[in-house]
Amino acid sequence: MTELILPAAILLASVTLTYLFCVRPMLKGHCAHGHPAESMDRLASSTTEATELTRLRAELATLRVTPLNRTDGTSTRA
């Protein structure tokens, strides 16, 4: 009987915390997670594909120029 007390207490605590911090705020409309469509619209308006592509190309060019050093002091690129 006593071996069931700890698992039951953990279950009760997890259900209580889930209700307090997840379910109750969602019911009140104060959910921490935004609507996925709103998040994507905000992301699309802040960063365009062309800007991201330019940034990634610059990063790739930098990585191609920078030599990779091994632990023995030799470079992997000539």
| CB-count burial class (<10 Å; 0-12, 13-18, 19+) for 12 | exposed
- The rounded distance, in Å, linking the Cα atoms of 76 and 78 is 7
Sequence ranges of the domains in the chain: 1-35
User: DSSP letters of 2-46?
Assistant: GGGHHHHHHHHHHHHHHIIIIIHHHHHT--SSPPHHHHHHHHHHH
For residues 59-68, average pLDDT: 85
pLDDT for residue 73: 59
**One-letter amino acid identity for 78?**
A
| CB-count burial class (<10 Å; 0-12, 13-18, 19+) for 25 | middle
Is the model more confident about 76 or about 27?
Answer: 27
Backbone angles phi, psi at 66, to 5 degrees: -75, 125
**pTM of the predicted protein model:** 0.40
4-51: pLDDT as tens digits: 999 999 999 999 999 998 888 888 877 666 555 555 565 565 568 888
